Structures are given as structure tokens and as C-alpha cells.
Homo-oligomer: A and B are copies of this chain.
Amino acid sequence: MIQMFHVTKAFGNDPPTLMDINLDIQKGEFVFLTGPSGAGKTTLLKLVFLAERATRGQVLVSGRNVARLRESGIPYLRRNIGVVFQDFKLLPNRSVAENVGFALDVIGTPRELVRQKALKILKRVGLEHKANVLPPKLSGGEQQRVVIARALVNDPAILLADEPTGNLDPALTVEIMDLLCDVNARGTTVVVATHDASLIERYHKRTLRLERGTLVSEERGAKAALLMVQG
């Protein structure tokens, strides 16, 4: 589903943020992406939905080489990818339900259906009672769950979640992770960037570890978690 061959990404003349990345994530897989702050996790995810373009190398999404995708093709790529942004990116002057429905409006879904689907997914993240509130009036964790709801609302083929539980308490973290596993079980390819060693230990999934722009290890569960804490 997501493949990278010798991918390098450099911003301006700085030393490259990502160097010679090779990876292959299968359709329907659930993968953790970890590594210290500034290692390049967010940048790697951005290459997949073309918020950034690779400086060198090939990025294949669903078998298509997105490095060659024209500007006008980007929207259609993005419609198949749900993204939980690390910095949320919620519109402060639209209600929670409208923010969640945004991804559906874009593909021309009728209004009632948009609201219906938005409310359904908000219920799954435990926020149906906040549907008509503006985001600045939500707590940090509530905002984070709105972003997760928005990423899931149009049943994307790929879900990229960047630090989706950074503002959630342990109980909610488990709930949200269970939701992501559930979505994954129904066929969505899921990539979760996280710092949380306990998640990696508990869910025992394939874990890619980035360090200063290169993939340094690939383990599962406790072993991966141990590497993190030692890191």
C-alpha cells in the first residue's frame, strides 16, 4: 500500500531530514512509527499525502508513484487518506460537526448525509454531545478526538495518525487505539506515529524506528518499547 525506495527529503540547504528511506507497508497492515523528537516521523507521513515532496527517491501509494503526481491529482490522492495531524488543524470558527464533515463536503456529499456520518463518528470518539461547539471551547484531548473523527469519517483506505494520543488520558488512549484497531480490521491500512512506549508494548505491532532521518530498526512489542526507553 505504501512503499518508499531510497527516499531523501531535505529542506533548503539544511542537512537532510530523511535519508535513504526504504519501506514497504502492506495493504491492511497496522504499523507504528517511532523515534525521538525531530527524527522525521511527521515529515515521513507528509511525503505520503504529498504535503511535502521527496527530494529524491520513489514514494508509491496504492502502487502509484506519487513523486510524479501532478498538482491537480493531489486532491484525489488525499481523499483516500485520512490524516490525524499532530497540530490538529481545526477551523476555529466552524462547529465540531462541520469540521468533521469537511472531508465529506469536499467530495460533494449531500448535507444531511454529512451531518449524519459526522455525528456517528463523533459518537465513536465520545464527543456526540460537543457536536455544535466551536473547537477553541474544547479541551486538548477533545480537540484531538475531533481530528481523529475527521480522519475516519470518509472510510479512508489509509489512515495516517501523527501522535493521536498525545493529549489523551490512559483510559481514552486505550479506547482510541481500539477504535484504530477496529478500523484496521475492516481493511484500512493504519500508520501511527507515537512516542508512547506503553502503546507499542501493549499492541505488539510492527514498529519502525526512525533516528535522525534514517530507519534504524524494525521490531515488535516489548522489544521495540525497550529500544525507545533506552534511546
Q: Is the CB of B195 within 8 A of A170?
A: yes
Give CA–CA (A183, B228) in the complex, Å. Answer: 26
Closest B residue by C-beta to A198 = B198
Residue numbers in B under 8 Å from A173 (CB-CB)? 195
A137 interface contact, C-beta 8 A: yes
A108 interface contact, C-beta 8 A: no
Chain A, 184-231, CB within 8 A of any chain B CB: 195, 197-198, 228-229, 231
A75 interface contact, C-beta 8 A: no
A167 interface contact, C-beta 8 A: yes
Partner of A170, one of B145, B162, B171, B231: B231
A11-B137, A42-B140, A140-B42 as given contacts; A36 in contact with B167, CB under 8 Å: no
Q: Which 3 A-B pairs have the closest CB atoms?
A: A37-B141, A166-B166, A86-B140
